[in-house]
């Protein structure tokens, strides 16, 4: 019967050296960092996509609400020029992301003088902050004196 001693070649080659262990830990560390970076990037992209979607919803809501106003209301500052909308409509304006918006009705210089009293260019703008990044969106449309708002009532 053979007894293995520490001086045997098989005994010495059966374990890891310190350098091999350090390299293995370094490779595992790099893999963990890469996975963490991928997850963080995915979560950030998802968050920004949700904020963009909410901004689009607000823009469409404000633009569609113009159908409810008649021509006199549109031209007499009946519509508030600025507004604040929270990201989460149930949370109120005290928490989370706030969208700061403005509505501008102007005469469009590209239309010409014959239509200047019957058509207005409406621009709805939103600004909000994601972390330290300032973001904004806007949508523009035309409103006419003889438009759809005359048939809503």
101-126 per-position pLDDT tens digit = 999 988 776 776 677 778 888 999 99
**126 compared with 9, residue with greater pLDDT:** 126
Query: Domain locations in the chain?
Result: 16-151
| Kind and range of the H or E run holding 100 | strand 98-106
**137 compared with 1, residue with greater pLDDT:** 137
List Cβ neighbours of 124 (8 Å cut-off, separation of 6 or more). 59, 62, 63, 101, 102, 103, 138, 139, 140
- Tracing tokens 């008649």 back to the chain, one arrives at 70
List Cβ neighbours of 122 (8 Å cut-off, separation of 6 or more). 63, 66, 103, 104, 105, 140, 141, 142, 143
Distance in angstroms (rounded) separating the CA atoms of residues 97 and 53 = 13
List Cβ neighbours of 24 (8 Å cut-off, separation of 6 or more). 16
Give yes or no for residue 4 having a pLDDT over 90.
no
Mean pLDDT of the chain, nearest integer: 83
Say what the pLDDT of residue 6 is: 57
Distance in angstroms (rounded) separating the CA atoms of residues 55 and 49 = 10
């Amino acid at each position: 019967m053979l007894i293995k001693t520490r001086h045997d070649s098989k005994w010495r080659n059966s374990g890891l050296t310190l350098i091999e262990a350090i390299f293995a830990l370094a490779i595992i560390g790099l893999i963990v960092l890469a996975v963490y970076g991928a997850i963080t990037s995915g979560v950030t992209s998802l968050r920004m996509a949700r904020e963009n979607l909410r901004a689009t919803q607000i823009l469409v809501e404000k633009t569609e609400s113009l159908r409810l106003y008649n021509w006199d209301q549109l031209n007499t500052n009946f519509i508030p020029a600025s507004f604040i909308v929270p990201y989460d409509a149930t949370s109120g304006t005290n928490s989370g992301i706030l969208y700061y918006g403005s509505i501008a009705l102007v005469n469009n210089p590209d239309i010409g003088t014959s239509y200047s009293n019957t058509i207005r260019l409406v621009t709805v703008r939103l600004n909000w902050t994601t972390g330290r990044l300032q973001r904004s969106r806007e949508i523009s449309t035309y409103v006419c004196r003889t438009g759809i708002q005359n048939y809503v009532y």
